[in-house]
Each structure stands twice: as structure tokens, then as C-alpha cells.
Amino acid sequence: MSERYLAELDLALRRHRVSARRRRRFLAEAEDHFAWDPAAATAFGDPDLLAGEIASAERPRRTRLLTLVLVGSVVAFVVPLYGMPENTLPPAPAEGLPGSVAWKLDWAAAFYGAALVLAAVAFVFSLVRPRLAIVPACVAVSALVVSAALGSAAAIEWPVGGSTAVAVVVPMAAALASLALFVATRLASAAWPRRLR
């Protein structure tokens, strides 16, 4: 009885996207619970309902962690975008920098700064109002996407320090894909939490 119940509980926890760490811990605690009282499985509660509650309990911590990852990602983004500070901070801009490249770099730097601030705001929100953290997080990612697009265009037009456009754009695209995946996952879990009550 308890084995079948634990299997159902495991499936329900997976359906509710509960993290592997939390899932293992809850199953271990449930197993210990049934070791005390083998008949407790009948009074333990509906697996789907419990899994929803566990997912809900996990959400604030997960949001904190994800927003921290977002801040780290935005900070790390300075690597593929290194051409921006190099071309915009003193003694830049380099002589002969075309006007069509200069404005792109300026705006890319501005959007990058905005993304950094918004990611930090998302992290602060995750500590006080976890449900609202998704808003600045999404805007931060959008700002970063615009910054990356402008930076990529500038890198293609005006390669810096002998680097090829591909060397700049490819890691940027990979980083963007990772961030987009992060936001999509977070949005999905925030917008459609599998809570049954």
C-alpha cells in the first residue's frame, strides 16, 4: 500500500515540477512516516494536492535562486559584450568610429545598464514580494536582448581588437538562449502553477 502511494506521490511531485532535491526529501520523510505507522498512507492526503502544496512552499526559494542566477547572468554578459565598454568608455570612442556604430554601442550600453539594475530589483523583489519578481526579471531580460541585438550589430559592423563577429555573436546567442529558457520556464511556473485549490 505505502509503496504504491509513494509511487503516486513521486509522479505527482514530478507533474508539479517540484525540484529533485525537494522531491527526494519529501519522499524520504513520507517513507519514514510510514515506517512509524504503515497504515498512515491511507490518511496521508491526496498526492496531487500534497504535491501542489509542496510546489507552492518551494516557490519563494526557487524565485530567489532564479533571480540571483539572473543577476549573475547579466553580470557575466559583459564578456560577450566586452566590445561595448571598450568602444564607449574613455579613451573610446576610437577615431574613425562610424556614427552608425557609435549610436548602437551607446544604446547597447544603456540597455545593458538598465538590465543590470532591473535584475538587481528582481532579486530584491524575490526577498520581499516573490510573486512580483517576475516583472522586473522579464523587463531585465528584454533589455538585455535589445542590448545584445544592438551590440551584435555593432560587432559585425565594427569588430573590436581583431575579434571576428562570429566569436562575439555565438557566445552571445548561446547566453541569450539560456536566459530565454530561464525566463520561459519561470514564466510558465509562475503563470500556470499546478495548484488544485
Partner 1 sequence: MPKPTQGGHVDGLILAVLADGPLHGYAVVGELRSRSNGVLSFPEGTIYPALYKLESAGAVASSWSVVDGRRRRLYRLTTRGRRRLDQARVEWDAFSSAMKAVLA
- When asked if residue 30 is in the footprint of partner 1 (CB under 8 A), the reply is yes
For the CB of residue 65, give the shortest distance to partner 1 in the complex, in Å.
12
When the beta carbons of 13 and 108 are compared against partner 1, the nearer one is: 13
Residue of 19, 50, 135, 160 that binds partner 1 (CB under 8 A): 50
Cis before 85 (ω within 30): no
Residue of 17, 19, 44, 182 that binds partner 1 (CB under 8 A): 44
- Other Cβ atoms less than 10 A from the Cβ of 116: the count is 19
- Other Cβ atoms less than 10 A from the Cβ of 14: the count is 12
Binding mask of the shown chain, residues 61 to 100, with x at each position contacting partner 1 by CB under 8 A: x---------------------------------------
For the CB of residue 64, give the shortest distance to partner 1 in the complex, in Å.
9
- When asked if residue 43 is in the footprint of partner 1 (CB under 8 A), the reply is yes
DSSP states along the chain? -HHHHHHHHHHHHHHTT--HHHHHHHHHHHHHHHHH-GGGGGGS--HHHHHHHHHHHHHHHHHHHHHHHHHHHHHHTTTTTTHHHHHHSTTPSPTT--HHHHHHHHHHHHHHHHHHHHHHHHHHHHHH-GGGTHHHHHHHHHHHHHHHHHHHHHHHHS--TT--HHHHHHHHHHHHHHHHHHHHHHHHHHHS-----
User: Candidates 43-51, 99-107, 151-159, 165-173 — which segment interacts with partner 1 by CB under 8 A?
Assistant: 43-51
Size of the site for partner 1 (CB under 8 A): 25
Residue of 58, 83, 147, 148 that binds partner 1 (CB under 8 A): 58
Determine the Cα–Cα distance for residues 134 and 137; give it in Å rounded to an integer.
Answer: 5
- When asked if residue 29 is in the footprint of partner 1 (CB under 8 A), the reply is yes
Residue of 26, 77, 111, 125 that binds partner 1 (CB under 8 A): 26
When the beta carbons of 56 and 142 are compared against partner 1, the nearer one is: 56
- When asked if residue 46 is in the footprint of partner 1 (CB under 8 A), the reply is yes
Q: Which residues make up the interface to partner 1 (CB under 8 A)?
A: 22, 25-26, 28-30, 32-33, 35-37, 40, 43-46, 49-50, 53-54, 56-58, 60-61
